[in-house]
Amino acid sequence: MSLPPAPRKVTLIVLAWNRWELTRECLDSLRATDLTGAEVVVVDNGSTDETPSALRAYPWVRVVTNPENLGYVRGNNAGIAASDPEADVVLLNNDVVFPQRDWLQRLRECAHSAPDAGVVGCRLTLPDGRLLHAGTYMLPDTMWGQQIGSLEKDIGQYAATREVEGIVFACAYLRREVLRAVGGLAEDYRSYFEDTDYCLRARRAGFRTLLCGSVTLTHDEHGSTKGDTGELMRIFERSRATFRKKWRRELEGRYTRGVLWQSIMNFSTGYAMSCREILRALDRLGVRAAYRYVYGPGTPFPVAEPPGNGDYLMNVVAKRDANGARVGVVYGQGDVFERNAGRRKVGFTMLEVDGFPKEWVRQGNRMAEVWVPTEFNRRGFVASGLRRPAVTIPLGVDVNYFHPGIAGHPNPAGEYVFLSNFEWGERKEPWMLLKVFNDEFTASEPVRLLCKIINRDPAVRVLDEIRRLRLKDSGGKISFLFNREFPYYQLGSFYRSADCFISAGRGEGWDMPLMEAMACGLPTIATDWGAHTEFVHEGIAYPLRVKGTIPAVAKCPYYEGFSWADPDPDHLRFLLREVYEHRDEARRRGARAAREMAEKWSWERSARKIVERLEELEG
């Protein structure tokens, strides 16, 4: 039997300029990792401190000495020129620390996972534990590169290997095939932008850039260049001007069509969250979206939208002009469809009952076509009188932030935790869930229901309503989080802190929290009626039986005259006990759900269906 081929040799190039304490920490931590098949080269870029003499104490390192500081680009190119001509190359900043022993082997495996894999980076965290980098992107609008996930709390997001537009070269694995095709770093930069430039040159030569999510290193960003921020900014702007001249036309050319997207973005609502994710996915597919707020004075939601949300891409999209966009999409309630300012008009909406109000139908019939996320809503719209084409465009989930590897915080008392996340009101039927849980379990059992409750109605006193239920102290234990908002990217950690998710309401337009919990690998109990039956089934969840449908009686005027589900409390009682008593099977079901969400329900899938419709509408 033949042995597998030996892994490709690798030359690790550490660029150092003064700040010996950083280089020492970098090399000492590097030495403790698996360097099989690797040579370490330190390029001393004209250091004037103790670096040259201190390096003599590291006989396992080969030193290349530059007579002066040649800058980041030429300094690294000196190391590449000195590398083994048959070896791959890894460029490393001297302010990187290596807490992961197998980092190099994982990067090398990723780099050789496909013939067109050429440049590979990794997750980088700051010394304080925040995520710094999980890939980069560059918008032609601003020509200011952005690091994906930057400054978020590290909870295990971006753990998979994925293709990205660029990486920062604090750690960059370059296959020898790429070096032969495109050479070293472009010397029309001194520093900054050379990394994105290299990734784009590699792409032009037929090589992809990957982010290996299974590797995480620590980067004390700009550790070697702290000090003269004025000079650094001058270098940055010169490099930015060079990059703009070289790449602006090509980056603008990646947009093959445009769309005017009128919706809601800077609020903590389902429409706003999904709006952001759709726009992000459309941008990756080459759709130049221009965003406009669809609500405000004179609309059913007369509140002004906050001016920004800290999301760089979304803030740029909101400032774009809509020139050249032939199609306008209103993504929101059907009674604002007529605010559509596009030449070809689309209304995109959803509702939690079995039909749609007359005003929504009237405005829908003035659109070129109407989009809904599910067949449940498509049937309801058509049955209510919609005559225009009704097209199903599913929503999705971002498995970079919602997956089973996201870090959770298990109950410190070791209790089994059921979690439900909802806005208090008739549609969510919270009274049934609280009563059934409290009746089914006893206070002596190590189990707890945690309810994250949002109440936006000042006329409703949630605590008084809970007291009126007369829950038993001897019954199942229930805890509450009232009006507590988490950063959206941290919700996966919240779900992963529970053992089972419950969505036992009367109707859903999609149920994003349910899908997110499923993507995180939680077993879920969900009412077997409404929009979410599109992605919930017995093999991956615990469908909650309904006794039938009943009139949808609620404060919301849009529900009047329609019906929603009447979930069966006895079956809910059975399912709670079933999950609690058979945890291994529940975990298996949750794992299957996570796989299915990742395979079938991405935002890219949603965006591709939108692109298909834009192509058709543009004629």
pLDDT at 139: 97
Judged against a pLDDT cut of 60, whether residue 3 lies above it is answered with no
pLDDT at 1: 56
pLDDT at 521: 98
For β-strands 88-93 and 171-174, DSSP reports them as antiparallel
Judged against a pLDDT cut of 90, whether residue 619 lies above it is answered with no
Give the pair of three-digit tokens for residue 107. Answer: 């990067």
**What does the pLDDT average to over 22-50?**
97
State the distance between the two ends of the chain, measured CA to CA, in whole angstroms. 59
The one-letter amino acid code at 64 reads V
Label residue 225 by pLDDT band (50, 70, 90).
Answer: low
pLDDT at 362: 98
Order of strands, edge to edge, in the sheet holding 542-544?
A: 477-482, 447-454, 416-423, 500-503, 524-527, 542-544
Judged against a pLDDT cut of 60, whether residue 66 lies above it is answered with yes
> 114: burial class by Cβ within 10 Å (0-12, 13-18, 19+)?
exposed
pLDDT at 324: 79
Strand partners, 9: none
For β-strands 117-125 and 136-137, DSSP reports them as unpaired
Percent of the residues in the chain that have a pLDDT greater than 90, as a whole number? 95
Q: What is the mean pLDDT of the chain?
A: 96
Q: Which helix (H) or strand (E) holds 434?
A: helix 430-440
Query: pLDDT per residue over 571-611, tens digit each?
Result: 999 999 999 999 999 999 999 999 999 999 999 999 999 99
**What does the DSSP 8-state code read for residue 304?**
P
pLDDT at 2: 59
Label residue 223 by pLDDT band (50, 70, 90).
Answer: low
**C-beta atoms surrounding 419 within 10 Å:** 22
Percent of the residues in the chain that have a pLDDT greater than 70, as a whole number? 98
CB contact set of 150 (below 8 Å; sequence gap of 6+)? 131, 132, 133
Closest CA to 496 of 576, 406, 587, 598: 406
Query: pLDDT per residue over 235-287, tens digit each?
Result: 999 999 999 999 999 999 999 999 999 999 999 999 999 999 999 999 999 99
Query: pLDDT per residue over 78-99, tens digit each?
Result: 999 999 999 999 999 999 999 9
Rounded Cα–Cα distance for residues 533 and 548 (Å): 15
pLDDT at 58: 97
**What does the DSSP 8-state code read for residue 90?**
E
Judged against a pLDDT cut of 90, whether residue 379 lies above it is answered with yes
**What does the DSSP 8-state code read for residue 475?**
B
Give the pair of three-digit tokens for residue 296. Answer: 């405000």
**What does the pLDDT average to over 550-573?**
97
**pTM reported for the whole predicted model:** 0.95
pLDDT at 323: 83
Would you list the DSSP string of 476-544?
-EEEEEES----GGGHHHHHHTSSEEEE--S--SS-HHHHHHHHTT--EEEESSSGGGGT--TTTSEEE
Judged against a pLDDT cut of 80, whether residue 329 lies above it is answered with yes
Rounded Cα–Cα distance for residues 285 and 264 (Å): 21
Judged against a pLDDT cut of 70, whether residue 227 lies above it is answered with no
**What does the pLDDT average to over 485-500?**
96
**What does the pLDDT average to over 536-542?**
97
Rounded Cα–Cα distance for residues 306 and 304 (Å): 7
pLDDT at 229: 72
Rounded Cα–Cα distance for residues 439 and 504 (Å): 16
Query: pLDDT per residue over 342-363, tens digit each?
Result: 999 999 999 999 999 999 999 9
pLDDT at 602: 97
Query: pLDDT per residue over 97-145, tens digit each?
Result: 999 999 999 999 999 999 999 999 999 999 999 999 999 999 999 999 9
Query: pLDDT per residue over 155-212, tens digit each?
Result: 999 999 999 999 999 999 999 999 999 999 999 999 899 999 999 999 999 999 999 9
Closest CA to 421 of 307, 504, 327: 504
Which single residue is written with the structure tokens 């009188």? 385
Q: In the chain, what are the domains?
A: 10-250 (3.90.550.60), 257-396 (3.40.50.11930), 416-601 (3.40.50.2000)
Rounded Cα–Cα distance for residues 560 and 485 (Å): 30
CA dihedral 40, 45, 47, 53 (to 10 degrees): 30
pLDDT at 607: 98
Higher-confidence residue of 426 and 222: namely: 426
Give the pair of three-digit tokens for residue 437. Answer: 């849980």
Q: Taking a C-beta distance cutoff of 8 angstroms, is the pair 263, 330 a contact? A: yes
